[in-house]
């Protein structure tokens, strides 16, 4: 049983209302403690899937009070162990997920444009470049796991779902800076080492197939599910499956190496992955019931999600049409043939 401890700090007269306020919610215990003459602490032990409803209930009742403070803690263990009959059985209940508040705290951190983020971009790009040049799968996988580019895309999807303009701006900024930083560094690596198309790892990322959008969509859904269920360790597999950095590195290295058509193919793969991760993220967040607390924010978020889904679907349709066209003889084949012959 996944448990959480919710602590609420309020004035003495307000805290006394909490047991009655949460009477219809599933709790395993509520305890009060005096902090000082004016404030009391209420501790609420509950299951992870009840946290969002409980916190929203408390915010709706006391959200205007300046002394309100809510803290949510993950409970590693409790003695005695709660029995299963302490939970309300409901076969039609929605799948368990962490609260919107925990989700926001975890994902919004990945959109921070910090020195650590930029250092990880530099290190992962260097590792990816070396792995591509050496044609080493192991080194490239290490770069995939190190690269922090997946986080800002998931946070952008969450911002769209919640209608959070500030988080969306922060996510876009971090995405643009991270991608630009990695691309410039990859161009520099290409100038220094002049990588060859003989590397299978490089060649495999210059061609986009019809299966790549499906792979990116599936991996994007898995990544969001890992966040919503509180299982971040599952993200390692997603990072490898829908990695953005290796094809981005290939694009920069091929561009400065004079392989323009291959650089375009790698850039197309990056676009496919970015679009599919964001599309899958928005759809999965909506399917898991993630949304704002207030009804007027919900209307704005619903419109933002609908617009985003239409935009991402439109861009994906254009890219799929381009991918289908690349599979036939045409200008891309001509460029590729000419480039490899020179």
Nearest alpha-carbon partner for 143 in 209, 75, 223, 201: 201
Q: Report the pLDDT value the prediction gives residue 94, as an integer from 0 to 100.
A: 44
Q: Report the pLDDT value the prediction gives residue 84, as an integer from 0 to 100.
A: 64
Predicted model pTM: 0.81
Q: 273 with 247: CB under 8 angstroms?
A: yes
Rounded distance, CA 246 to CA 327, Å?
22
**pLDDT in single tens digits along all 342 residues of the chain:** 789 999 999 988 888 889 989 988 989 999 999 988 888 999 999 988 899 999 999 998 888 788 899 999 999 888 888 876 544 444 444 446 788 888 898 888 888 999 999 999 999 999 999 999 999 999 998 888 888 888 899 899 999 999 899 999 999 999 999 999 999 999 999 999 888 888 899 998 988 888 888 888 888 888 888 888 776 655 665 666 567 889 999 999 999 988 998 999 999 999 999 999 899 999 999 998 888 877 667 788 888 899 999 999 999 999 888 888 766 544 444 444 444 443
- Partnered with residue 11 across adjacent β-strands are 39
Q: Report the pLDDT value the prediction gives residue 241, as an integer from 0 to 100.
A: 58
Q: Report the pLDDT value the prediction gives residue 150, as an integer from 0 to 100.
A: 84
Contacts of 95 (CB under 8 A, 6+ apart): 288
Q: Report the pLDDT value the prediction gives residue 116, as an integer from 0 to 100.
A: 93
Q: Report the pLDDT value the prediction gives residue 208, as an integer from 0 to 100.
A: 86
- Burial of 137 (C-beta count, 10 Å sphere; 0-12/13-18/19+): exposed
Rounded distance, CA 27 to CA 179, Å?
45
- Partnered with residue 47 across adjacent β-strands are 3
**What six digits make up the tokens of 178?**
């991270």
Q: Report the pLDDT value the prediction gives residue 48, as an integer from 0 to 100.
A: 87
């Amino acid at each position: 049983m996944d448990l959480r401890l919710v602590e609420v700090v309020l004035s003495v007269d307000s805290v006394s209302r909490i047991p009655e306020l949460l009477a219809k919610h599933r709790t395993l215990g509520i305890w009060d403690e005096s902090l000082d003459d004016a404030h009391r602490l209420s501790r609420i032990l509950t299951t992870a899937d009840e946290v969002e409803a409980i916190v929203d209930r408390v915010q709706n009742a006391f959200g205007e009070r300046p002394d309100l403070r809510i803290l949510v803690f993950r409970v590693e263990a409790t003695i005695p162990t709660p029995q299963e009959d302490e939970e309300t059985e409901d076969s039609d209940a929605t799948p368990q997920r962490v609260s919107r508040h925990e989700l926001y705290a975890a994902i919004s951190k990945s959109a921070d444009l910090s020195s650590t983020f930029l250092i990880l971009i530099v290190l992962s790009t260097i590792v990816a470049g070396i792995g591509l040049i050496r044609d080493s799968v192991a080194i490239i996988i290490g770069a995939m796991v190190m690269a922090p580019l997946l986080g800002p895309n998931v946070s952008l999807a969450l911002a769209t779902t919640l209608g959070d303009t500030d988080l969306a701006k922060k996510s876009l900024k971090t995405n643009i800076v991270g991608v630009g930083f990695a691309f410039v560094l990859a161009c520099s690596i290409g100038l220094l080492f002049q990588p060859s198309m003989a590397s299978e790892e490089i060649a495999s990322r210059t061609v986009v197939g019809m299966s790549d959008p499906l792979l990116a969509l599936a991996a994007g859904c898995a990544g969001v599910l890992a966040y919503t269920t509180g299982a971040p360790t599952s993200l390692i597999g997603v990072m490898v499956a829908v990695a953005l950095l290796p094809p981005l590195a290939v694009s920069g290295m091929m561009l400065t190496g004079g392989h323009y058509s291959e650089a375009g193919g790698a850039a197309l793969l990056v676009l496919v992955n970015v679009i599919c991760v964001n599309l899958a993220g928005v759809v999965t967040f909506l399917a898991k019931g993630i949304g704002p607390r207030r009804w007027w924010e919900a209307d704005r978020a619903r419109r933002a999600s609908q617009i985003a889904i239409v935009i991402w679907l439109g861009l994906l349709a254009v890219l799929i049409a381009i991918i289908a066209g690349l599979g036939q003889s045409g200008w891309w084949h001509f460029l590729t043939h000419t480039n490899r012959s020179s």
